[in-house]
Amino acid sequence: MSQIRDIELFLVELSLVRPFRVSFGTSTGKQCVVARVRTDDAEGWGECVADDGYPGFSGEWNEGVWTLLRDVLAPTLLRADDVTSATVEQQLRFVRGNPMAKATLINGVVDAELRADGRSLRAFLGGARDAVACGVSIGIADTTDELRAQVDEHLEQGYRRIKLKIMPGLDVERVGAIRADHPDILLSVDANAAYTLEDLDVFRALDAFDLLMVEQPLHHEDLVLHARLQEEIATPICLDESIRSAADAAAALELGSCRIVNIKQGRVGGVLEARRVHDVAAAAAVPVWCGGMLETGLGRATNLGLASMPNFTLPGDTSASARYFADDLTEPFVLGEDGTMAVPAGPGIGVEPRPERLAACTVRRELVTKSD
């Protein structure tokens, strides 16, 4: 039996080393909610991947997450007699939706339990490798020449797959330029749902570039339309924003909406649901890869543990800390010379925030206890 003693919430803010532009906006920093879950035996960490400012890319945002964690979800777990990796999802199920907020506590509970047991997240999830292949996501540049320079920089660093963010008007010409420069690299594009079926000619043109995938071309609710698009183009479609649960993955694969799945554990409700998404895709012989959401080292460590599972056969967005932050919340993650990154082998997620860095990055902090 394990009881939670208290849950501490932190709102942390880090600057990005380079603005990151996608089809719906530009980020210059990372602000997220982090939770420390203290049990009778250990403490665990969870990082939320919700939006800052307002619910734009996702339906959750930091202010809403903070309120829900503080006033509803954390008190629920504090009142429970037994909170474990086997019970925590059910204990939070009475709240509909809000998978990002739930993931923050679910991952914290799993991390604490594994630390108490001296067991790694990789072992818990059935990970098959101690290092994972890494790709990099490159935002929309101001010019094609600037994009070329960024691609060259990341290839020199050893990344095994290049992903280009695209949007209407900034797509075929730029992708063609990069493919001409690098005929043999693994190259993919990510539309972040910026297109419609009326843009079919764009996707047919992209077929000429031998892409690994085109990621989330249409609206996240348009599984049927994605299936129609996939019938019209040769490039495999990968779904990202559309995959919010194992049920979503099963529906997408049944409809033929995609041939590849991007799993973001922070969006589907944590590592437990992410494992189910992995298993659904594996049963259908559909490859998966681990997406990123500009996580700090806490989320990156969690992603690496997940990406060690057998069906993560494509390079993910588990880029080095230095790709995003001059000074990460944890000890930095480094890309190996072979384009892989080591999966933490220590108990739980294998890392924790550096106290002085956590203090410096924290803009709000609140402790939720049994008496609250």
* Residues annotated as catalytic (active site), given as ranges: 165, 264
Q: Nearest Cα to 33, choosing from 4, 8, 6? A: 8
Residues 185 and 272: their CA atoms lie apart, in Å, by 33
Helices then strands, counting H and E runs in the chain, come out as 14, 13
Q: Nearest Cα to 67, choosing from 9, 5, 4? A: 9
Residue 140 is encoded by which pair of tokens?
């929309």
Instruction: Write phi, then psi, for 57 (nearest 5 degrees).
Output: -65, -35
The DSSP code for 358 is H
C-alpha distances (whole Å) from 368 to each of 71, 177, 233 are 9, 53, 51
- Residues 122-138 as b or e (16 or more Cβ within 10 Å = b): bebbebeeeebbbbbbb
